[in-house]
Amino acid sequence: MGWFLFSVGLVSLCSMVCTVSGIGANWGTQCSHPLPPDSVVKLLKDNGFRRVKLFDADYDALRALGKSGIEVMVGIPNDMLPSMASSVKAAEKWVAKNVSTHITTNYVNIRFVAVGNQHFLETYNVSLLKTTFLALQNVQIALIKAGLSGTVMVTVPLNDDMYESSTGLPSGGDFRADIRDQMLAIVKFLIYNNGVIAVNINPFISLYTDPNFPIEFVFFDKKATPINDSGKTYYNMFDANYDTLVWALDRNGFGNLPITVGEIGWPTGGDQNANIEYAKRFNQGFLTHILGGNGTPMRPGMIDAYLYSLIDEDAKSIDPGSFERHWGIFNCDGSAKYQLNVNFVDRKRCVTKPSTKLDDQQAAPSVGYDCGLADGTSHG
């Protein structure tokens, strides 16, 4: 495996009417003194996030998201997968309580159900290998029976160690040998049911576990020595990692499966490399890279991703390290750790503010670039 594979207030500076496209945030709830859910939803909205990923179906969090317009991915914890795998009724009960009710009664915009999280980590000793696919099938059946399969999609968030490269380059990508059969069954099912695959990519872990890891390659400012893979050039670990999954899918005949980045971010404490300077540099670089709409060498275009994470979780387990409690852009009390300049562009709307001077030499190219990402639709 190549070494590149493993492992605040957000201020919009737009000169246009701008909203989020492609970027969401993970909302974890393992805080000793959690913010009221309504405050977290306000934090999301005030800072431009229009998508959120929950690790479980927390009732108060979902209720607070009602009528917010925020698109929600709601998760089923791993410890519930065995019951879901063994019983369609259990899946139906969960969907009725945690999806149908919130959509119809609380008007929550639930678009995804995440069946478990990082199931195939080697540290789990393959304990979830036999339950994940069965649980995925039963949850999909439950969504169909509830009449929601046309609007709510299933996904399986997995860690980036589900794939590997035989050459150390993206083009050598394939699914890990010990889980290959399970992965092929999952991706085939997702394609058939219009689902997506979610991958968690955290370059910080590579730096944490390997002191010789080339640090510049985790960032996005092209200071690292680039890697050439059959004519495709890689300047950062994210693109190389993501494209290794693209190659794994292509190699097995599933190149059309949509990919969502379920987790990506940088902690601010608990390790010498977990600091505000690096966190801001990484997250800002990633946002700029993704929102530019260029994608990766193998998959040009917009990439959907969820920053990990919105808020610190001071009650989270510190295995494998204390940095696990410091991934947030915001502290537990909702105060900002650092600023991110986020140029969120709504691909359906491109309307200049009245104050924008289109004859300004700097404004005109900016408007032209941003409007090039939109579809030109006019909204009154």
pLDDT tens sequence across 144-154: 999 999 999 99
Burial environment of residue 33 by CB neighbours within 10 A (0 to 12, 13 to 18, 19 or more): exposed
Q: What domains, with CATH codes, occur in the chain? A: 10-346 (3.20.20.80)
Q: Place 84 in a pLDDT band, splitting at 50, 70 and 90.
A: very high
What does the pLDDT read at residue 124? Answer: 61
Rounded to the nearest 10 degrees, what angle do helices 88-95 and 129-145 cross at?
60
pLDDT digits (tens, 9 = 90+) for 266-319: 999 999 999 999 999 999 999 999 998 989 999 999 999 999 999 999 999 998
CA pair distance 274, 123, nearest whole angstrom: 23
CA pair distance 351, 12, nearest whole angstrom: 15
What does the pLDDT read at residue 8? Answer: 32
Expressed in percent and rounded to 5, the helix, strand and coil fractions of the chain are: 35, 15, 45
Tokens standing for residue 15: 């000169």
CA pair distance 163, 122, nearest whole angstrom: 12
What does the pLDDT read at residue 128? Answer: 79
Catalytic residues: 263
Q: Place 5 in a pLDDT band, splitting at 50, 70 and 90.
A: very low
CA pair distance 289, 240, nearest whole angstrom: 14
pLDDT digits (tens, 9 = 90+) for 14-43: 322 233 346 899 999 999 999 999 999 999
Bond preceding residue 297 cis, omega within 30 of 0: no
Candidates 135, 151, 138; CA nearest to 102 is 151
Residues 6+ apart with CB under 8 A from 27: 40, 44, 52, 53, 54, 61, 309, 310, 311
User: Could you tell me which residue, 346 or 248, shows the higher pLDDT?
Assistant: 248
- Backbone dihedral angles phi then psi of residue 354, each to the nearest 5 degrees: -60, -30
CB 107 within 8 A of CB 65: no
pLDDT digits (tens, 9 = 90+) for 95-125: 999 999 999 999 999 999 999 999 888 666 5
The three-class DSSP label of residue 375 is coil
In one-letter notation, the amino acid at residue 359 is D
Q: Place 138 in a pLDDT band, splitting at 50, 70 and 90.
A: very high
